[in-house]
Amino acid sequence: MKTLKLSNDELQGWLASWQQKHAIYAPQLGTDASKPQFHDWALLDGDEMPQLPTGVVKNSIKRFYLPQPQTMGTFSIDKRQADAFIIKETLPDSAKKQILLGARPCDARAILLKNQILASDPYFQAAREKNIVVGVTCSDQAPTCFCHKTGASPLAFIGMDIALSQTDEGWLAEIITPRGEELAGNGAEASEAKIAELKEKRDAIKQCSPAHGFKEQPMQEMYDAPLWQGLSDRCISCGTCTFLCPTCTCFDIQDETSGNTGRRIRIWDSCMTALFTAHTSGHNPRGTKLSRVRQRFMHKLKYYPDDYGPLYCVGCGRCVRDCPTNIDIREVIEDLQS
């Protein structure tokens, strides 16, 4: 791995050259002042490094990997056509790369965790081909951030192609993958001292064990824990937590038609809604709000760790920040541990 030292101007030079070849998406503040203001992902117009807020922006980079909606294929509903009702698959054009600039370590890691589940999903894999992650590590954490409590670190670079870390004089750019290598422009190698300094900061962060001991906890005990009742009393089943969550992956498939053509789309679904598990017969195996609230936490804290190791939560804190009824996964983790 190569570490380069960049001034602000040099980084801007990189951006300008990337702009020539690729679409760059970055967190930006909404431009319509009449609307509530928050940072969210948008196509970068200029070649200036965008101002990133402390912590995470409204949406994660999930939307670039699981677009909302994803067109899986198109078909004709004109019965006179020979190919009527035959679906023609459409995969994202992975040759045309795009850059996700300013992704945080939690978001980048989430894509790797999702990959465990979606390893053989052609749409997700094509999106991984297409998206190049130029991440920015976090020098500060927001009050809702807790990545260090999910076995990760605010200064981590896993899942990124290039990791940028802000320093007093500018930036340190760690070139992590061959794709990052190809993308990186010119720059002076960072001094040994600078690299050591970054490593020291990284080592100073106290990471906890990735699965929090939930792997060892008996499943039935967690399933029957008394806390689910109190949480479901308060939950309004909106699914905001699952929509904003960078790891939540579940989807629904729908056919939409317009005129003589149709498309099969894949859209985000949420285990917080009753419809998620409703059967055609009318039976619903997860018919109560309690069972749905429990499902989300059990999947993140127990089922996924049992199957793959780490928690299925990267500690970005989006669900904590935007839950209308203030259901806080950090409190759930603490409650389950005690």
Partner 1 sequence: MNKIGEHIRQRAAELLESREIDAFIGFRQGSLPMTTQHYVARSAAEAQNLVWNSFCVLNPTNILPSLLKSFEPPRRPGDPLPDDLPKVGIAVTGCWSRNLAIQFQENQASRKRVIAIGLPCTGMSDRRQILAQTGEMVTEVSETAEDLYFTGGTVASLKRTEILRPNCASCVHPQPVARIMTEVIEGDCINNDAAGRFAEVEEIEAKDSDGRWDWFSSEFSACIRCYSCRNACPLCYCPTCFVDDAKPQWVGKGLNSSDTSIFHILRAYHCAGRCTDCGSCEAACPMGLRLRLLTKKLDKDVVDMFDSEAGVEPFKPLPLSTYSQADPQPFIVQPSHSKGEDS
Rule CB under 8 A: which residues touch partner 1?
32, 35-38, 53-55, 58, 68-69, 140, 142-144, 233-234, 236-240, 243-244, 252, 254, 256, 265, 267, 270, 273-275, 278, 320-322, 324-326, 328, 330-331
Q: Quick one: CA dihedral 43, 45, 48, 52, positive or negative?
A: negative
Q: Which is nearer to partner 1, 108 or 231 (CB)?
A: 231
Q: Quick one: CA dihedral 259, 265, 268, 273, positive or negative?
A: positive
Q: Which is nearer to partner 1, 158 or 278 (CB)?
A: 278
* Least distance in angstroms from the C-beta of 34 to partner 1: 9
* Least distance in angstroms from the C-beta of 229 to partner 1: 10
Q: Which is nearer to partner 1, 209 or 229 (CB)?
A: 229
State the burial class of residue 108 (Cβ atoms within 10 Å of its Cβ: 0-12, 13-18, 19+).
Answer: buried
Q: Which is nearer to partner 1, 108 or 329 (CB)?
A: 329
Q: Quick one: CA dihedral 244, 247, 248, 251, positive or negative?
A: positive
* Least distance in angstroms from the C-beta of 218 to partner 1: 27
* Least distance in angstroms from the C-beta of 291 to partner 1: 16
State the burial class of residue 246 (Cβ atoms within 10 Å of its Cβ: 0-12, 13-18, 19+).
Answer: buried
CA 133 to chain centre: 12
Question: Quick check: 25 and 19 in contact, CB under 8 A?
Answer: no
- Three-state DSSP class for 187? coil
Q: Which is nearer to partner 1, 119 or 275 (CB)?
A: 275
* Least distance in angstroms from the C-beta of 272 to partner 1: 9
